[in-house]
Structure 1
Amino acid sequence: MTHKKTAGAALLMLALTAGCTKDYLDLQPRDAVPTENFYQTATDALQATNAVYSQLNQSGMFNSALWGIGDVMSDNSSLGGGGADGIEFQQLDVFSIPTTNPVITAHWQRAYLGIGQANQVLTRVPAIQMDEAVKSRYLGEAEFLRALYYFYLVRGYGDVPLVLTPAQSPAEVANITRSPAAEVYAQIVKDLTDAITKLPASYTGDNTGRATKWAATALLAKVYLTQGDMTKAAEQARLVIAGSGKTLWPNYGDNFKIENENGQESIFEVQFKSGLNTYSTDGPGSIVNEFWGARFFGGPTSAYPYVVSGGGYGFNIPEKEFVDGYEAGDLRKTVTVFVPGDKYPIPAGFTVAPEQPASLPGSPFGFNVKKFFIGTVNTNVWDSGLNIPVLRLADVYLMLAEAVGPTTEGLDAINRVRRRAFGLPITTASSKDLTAATPNFKDAVIRERRYELAFEDERWYDLKRTGKLLTSPALIAKGVKPFNIVLPIPQSEINVNPNLVQNQGY
C-alpha cells in the first residue's frame, strides 16, 4: 500500500495561515489565488465554504484514517490484509503506535486543514457584500464543520491546539500550545449552538447533503453524551427526533445504497463521487469498497473472479467474536458481514455467482465487511461513490436511550431500532423489545450501538467514552495499554513546535 507524501507540519501551517452533494464537491485548486484577492464575491464565499467540506473525504478523515481508528482499534475488527502491507494500520491494530504513524499524522493534519478553512470562512466571509441569508448559512456550515473536526481531534488526541482565527504567520502557528480538552469541548458546543440558529432544516437540489440545523443538533447531542451530560444530550436528541422529519428506513440495508444517499434516515453523511480518480486515497471517490473487498479472490481465469475492481485489500476484517455475537434473526448481519457461502453478484463474463470462501488471506474465518460493498467500479479501483454516514436517526434514538435509561421514552427509542433489526414493524411492541427489567440497560444500549453502527467509525469512541476500552478482553489480547486512550501527537508537528508536548506513554 502506498501513500502520498505530505509536507508534514508545514501543511498544518498552510491550513491555518492561508486561505455536499456530488454536485458541490470543490475539485478546483484554490491555492493559486492570493488570499487578498479572494473572499470578494458570493462565488468566493461559496467556494471557500465548499473547501471546508473537502477535507472530509480525504485519507486523513473518512476515506481511511477514521475506520483505522474507529474499527481496527476496536474489538469489531482486525486489519486483515496480506501481512506485508498496511503496516500503519497493523500498528493501530496491535496498539504499537509510533509517533510517526502515517494514519494518526494524516488524521491530525486533515482535521486542522478543515479547521483552517473554516476559520477563513468565519473570518473573511462576513465582509463580503452578498445575500445576508446565504452568508449566514455559509457561516453556520463553517461552524458545524469546525466543530466536527475538533470533535474528532479532542476525542482522538485529548488536549489539542484551539485555533479560531487565521494566524498571521507560520511562526505564530509554530509556537501554539495544546488547550485543555474542556476548552475545546466548550468551543465545540458554542459553534454548534450558533450553527443551529443559522442553518436551514433541509436542502433541495444541488445543495442536498450540506449541514442542516438537525445535523448540528444531532452532533451536539453526541458531544453532550461524550461529556456525560445526559440531560442535555437527551434534550438535543428529542429535538432531532421530533422536529427533523427523519424516519427509519423499514429495511436496515436501505441506509447503504447509492440510490438512497442523503435519504429519509440520513442526518449528515460524507459525500463521495466516483469516476473522477483511480489510485487516490484523497477523494472524491471512496477507497472503502476496494480496501475492504475480499483480498485477491481470484482473477479473470479463475473460478472465483475478483469481486471488486482491483482484487481487494481485505482490510478491516470482522472479528469472530463480533460476528458470533449477532442475535439469531438479526437481519443486520446479512447487510453488514460477508460470511462463507454468501453469494456475490455474477460478474461480467461469468455465469455462476462467486461464493465467499471459508478463508481468505488475512481472514481465517472467511469474513469481510459487506456494508459498503458495491462490487466493481468500471475500471477505477479506488473510486466508490457510496457515501459514508456520520449521523443518522438510529444513532440519535440510541443516544436518547442511553441518556434517559430504561424509562418509557428510552425503551421506546431503543426498541424502534431493535424491531427494525429483526424485520418487525418499528412502532409495534414485539418479543424482541427490551424492558424495564432488562439487566445492565446501559450495556445493552452500547451493545445495540455496536451492531447498529458497525463499521461506521463509531466503536473505538464508544468504548473510550464508556470506560470499556481498557477492559475489553479482545483489546487486552491485542495489547491495549492505559495510555492508548489517546493517540500520539504526530512527531512531525512536535519537530517544528516543541510546545506540543507528547501524550504520556508515546
Structure 2
Amino acid sequence: MNLSIKHWLYAGAVGLLITACDNRLNVVPTQSIEQSQALNTEQDVQITLVGTYDGLSDVNLYGGGIQYIGDLMGDNRDVLFGGTYATIDEIWRKTVTTSNTVTRDFWLDGYNAINRANNVLSALTKVGEANRGNIEGQARFIRGALYFELVKAFGKSWNDGNPTANPGVPLVLTPTTSVTDADYRARNTVAEVYAQAIDDLTKAESLLPATQSGGTGFATKGAAAATLARIYLQQQNYASARDAANRVITSGTYALEDNFADVFNDATNGSEIIFKIIVTDQDGANDMNTFYASSPNQGRGDVRVQSKFRALYATGDVRGTFFNTAGQNTFTSKFNDQYGDVPVVRLAEMYLVRAETNLRLGTSVGASPLADVNLIRSRAKATALTTVDLAAILLERRLELAFEGQQLADIKRTAGTVGTVAYNANNLVLPIPQREIDTNKKLVQNPGY
C-alpha cells in the first residue's frame, strides 16, 4: 500500500467521518453517522487509516504528551519545569488534579484515535486482499500501542498488587458511531488491557511488512515487535521481552547511527529509528520541541536540565555534552528542530532491553549483556565496561533514553522511587478525568483523587 505524506492532508476530513468534531464549517450534525456512507471503498478505509495516524500524532499522544508525562511524572529534580502551564507543572510536581486538561486530552485523544482504528478494522472487507493484511496490521499496531500507553498511565503498574483485579481502562473494540448508554463502559482490568494490547501487536507483527513506502512514520513488523518488547518488559516477562527485542535487532532492518547526535537529526537518522511521528512545516506538531527546546531553538525553554543529572555522565561520554545553554539554563539537544520528527522507539533501546533481560535470565541470546551495553557505550564514546550488573544496565537506560518517555515506566517496573515517593504511590497514577467520571457513572476513580 502506498501511503504518501500527502495523505495526511485528509486527516481533518477523516475526523468528520468518525468523530463528533467541532468544525465551524460543519453544518450537519455529526453526533452519529451512517457507517455505510463513511467507509464504502478501499480508498475510504485508507484515508481513515491515515486519519488514525493523524490522531496518534496528536500533541497529547506521541506528538509529545505521552513522552513528557512519562518523564515529568518520574522526575526527581533532574529537571526543573519553569513554564507557565499549570497543567504540566501539576504533572511535574505529582499533584495532578481530576480537571487537568493535559491528562484529560490524553484520555480523549487516545480513545479518539482508537475509535478511528476500530473503524478501519470494521471495514476490512472493503479492502482487497493485496492490502488487507497491511492495513489491518497498521490499525492493530496503533490500537495496541495506545491501550498500552493508557493502561500504564491510568492504571496501577503490573507489579503493584493484582493486575487481574486492578482497574485499568475501558476496552472499546468496535466503532462508536453514536453515543448511547451502551457506550458507557466500566474499566477493564489491567491484565485484560495488557492482553488486548499484546494480542493486537502480535497480530500486527505477523501482518506487517518489514518496511513501508512511507518510511518509519508508519507501522512495520519491527515497530510492533519493539512495542511488544516494552510491554513484556513492563510485565517482567523477561523471556518474551528478550525475544521480541532480539527479533528487531536481528531483522537487519535497523542499524545504530555511528554518531549519537545523528540519531536526532532527521537528515541522518534513517537507520536507527524504528517508529516516529512525522512532522512537517505543513502538518503535525512536536511538543517535545515546544517544552524541552530552548528559545533559540524555537522552544519555550520550560524543561531545564539540572547539573545533578548531567553529572551522571562520565567524562568523554558525548551524551553528557548533548545539551545547549540559553541564559542561565541548560536544555537537552534531542529536540532542537521545531519541525523535527518525534522519535517513539529506536534500536538502542532494543539493545538495552536485550541486555537487561539476558542478564536477568542468565542467558546470552543474540549477544552477552556486556557486549550489548558496550555497543551503546562505544557509540557514545564512553569507556567500555569490564563487567556489567543490573544497576549498570538500568543506569545506561537513563543515560541513553533520557527525555524519551521511559523514566516513570522504568521506576515502576523495578519498584523504585521518585525521590521519596514509592513506585506504587497513588499520585504516580493519573486520575480518570473528571469529565469522564461525570459522564460515565460506570467509571471508578483511582485511589487518592
Superposed pair shares fold, TM > 0.5: yes
State how far apart, in whole Å, the 2-side matches of 1:182 and 1:88 are.
Answer: 30
State how far apart, in whole Å, the 1-side matches of 2:92 and 2:292 are.
Answer: 15
- On the 8 A contact 1:21/1:271 being kept in 2, the answer is no
Number of the residue aligned with 2:262: 254
Larger Rg over CA atoms: 1
- What amino acid maps onto 2:246 in structure 1? R
Number of the residue aligned with 1:410: 369
* From 355, 359, 363, the counterpart of 1:401: 355
Number of the residue aligned with 2:276: 269
Number of the residue aligned with 2:81: 80
CA RMSD of aligned residues (A): 2.2
Number of the residue aligned with 2:341: 387
Residue 119 of structure 1 aligns to a residue in which SS?
helix
Deviations 1:203-240 (A, max 9, x none): 23x45531111111111111111101001111111111
State how far apart, in whole Å, the 2-side matches of 1:63 and 1:368 are.
Answer: 19
State how far apart, in whole Å, the 1-side matches of 2:437 and 2:252 are.
Answer: 43
State how far apart, in whole Å, the 2-side matches of 1:444 and 1:232 are.
Answer: 22
Number of the residue aligned with 2:334: 371
Residue 393 of structure 2 aligns to a residue in which SS?
helix
* From 173, 176, 188, the counterpart of 2:185: 176
From the superposition, tell whether residues 230 and 287 of structure 1 become closer, same or farther in structure 2 (CA, over 3 Å).
closer
Q: 1:192 Cα deviation (Å)?
A: 1.1
Residue 13 of structure 2 aligns to a residue in which SS?
coil
Alignment of 1:306-321 (within 5 A): 307-309=296-298, 312-321=299-308
State how far apart, in whole Å, the 1-side matches of 2:344 and 2:16 are.
Answer: 32
Q: Which runs of 5+ in 2 are unaligned?
A: 18-32, 156-167
Alignment of 1:298-447 (within 5 A): 307-309=296-298, 312-335=299-322, 337-339=323-325, 356-357=326-327, 359=328, 366-374=329-337, 384-405=338-359, 408=364, 409-422=368-381, 431-435=383-387, 438=388, 441-447=389-395
Alignment of 1:106-145 (within 5 A): 106-124=105-123, 126-128=124-126, 130-145=127-142
- What amino acid maps onto 2:179 in structure 1? P
From the superposition, tell whether residues 246 and 30 of structure 1 become closer, same or farther in structure 2 (CA, over 3 Å).
closer
Report the TM-score when normalising by structure 2: 0.86
Query: Bigger shift: 285-294 or 108-117?
Result: 285-294
State how far apart, in whole Å, the 2-side matches of 1:494 and 1:234 are.
Answer: 39
Q: Which runs of 5+ in 1 are unaligned?
A: 1-19, 277-283, 296-306, 340-355, 360-365, 375-383, 424-430
Alignment of 1:1-40 (within 5 A): 22-25=5-8, 26-33=10-17, 34=33, 35-40=35-40
Q: 1:131 Cα deviation (Å)?
A: 2.7
From the superposition, tell whether residues 30 and 51 of structure 1 become closer, same or farther in structure 2 (CA, over 3 Å).
closer
From the superposition, tell whether residues 434 and 111 of structure 1 become closer, same or farther in structure 2 (CA, over 3 Å).
farther
Q: 1:466 Cα deviation (Å)?
A: 1.4
Number of the residue aligned with 2:163: none
Residue 146 (str. 1) matches residue 118 (str. 2): no
Residue 187 (str. 1) matches residue 174 (str. 2): no
Residue 444 of structure 1 aligns to a residue in which SS?
helix
- On the 8 A contact 2:216/2:276 being kept in 1, the answer is no
Number of the residue aligned with 1:280: none
* From 458, 473, 476, the counterpart of 2:406: 458
From the superposition, tell whether residues 59 and 208 of structure 1 become closer, same or farther in structure 2 (CA, over 3 Å).
closer
- On the 8 A contact 1:167/1:173 being kept in 2, the answer is no
Report the TM-score when normalising by structure 1: 0.77
Residue 329 of structure 1 aligns to a residue in which SS?
coil
Alignment of 1:44-83 (within 5 A): 44-75=44-75, 77-82=78-83
- On the 8 A contact 1:247/1:264 being kept in 2, the answer is yes
- What amino acid maps onto 1:416 in structure 2? L
Number of the residue aligned with 2:438: 495
Aligned length: 412
State how far apart, in whole Å, the 2-side matches of 1:208 and 1:153 are.
Answer: 23
Q: 1:110 Cα deviation (Å)?
A: 1.1
- What amino acid maps onto 2:278 in structure 1? Q
From the superposition, tell whether residues 207 and 400 of structure 1 become closer, same or farther in structure 2 (CA, over 3 Å).
closer
Residue 163 of structure 1 aligns to a residue in which SS?
coil
Residue 218 (str. 1) matches residue 170 (str. 2): no
Number of the residue aligned with 1:95: 94
Q: 1:75 Cα deviation (Å)?
A: 2.5
Residue 55 of structure 1 aligns to a residue in which SS?
helix
- What amino acid maps onto 1:36 in structure 2? S
From the superposition, tell whether residues 259 and 330 of structure 1 become closer, same or farther in structure 2 (CA, over 3 Å).
same
State how far apart, in whole Å, the 1-side matches of 2:66 and 2:275 are.
Answer: 16
- What amino acid maps onto 1:54 in structure 2? D
From the superposition, tell whether residues 244 and 180 of structure 1 become closer, same or farther in structure 2 (CA, over 3 Å).
farther
State how far apart, in whole Å, the 2-side matches of 1:442 and 1:434 are.
Answer: 14
State how far apart, in whole Å, the 2-side matches of 1:102 and 1:221 are.
Answer: 31
- What amino acid maps onto 1:268 in structure 2? F
Residue 461 of structure 1 aligns to a residue in which SS?
helix
- On the 8 A contact 2:71/2:408 being kept in 1, the answer is yes
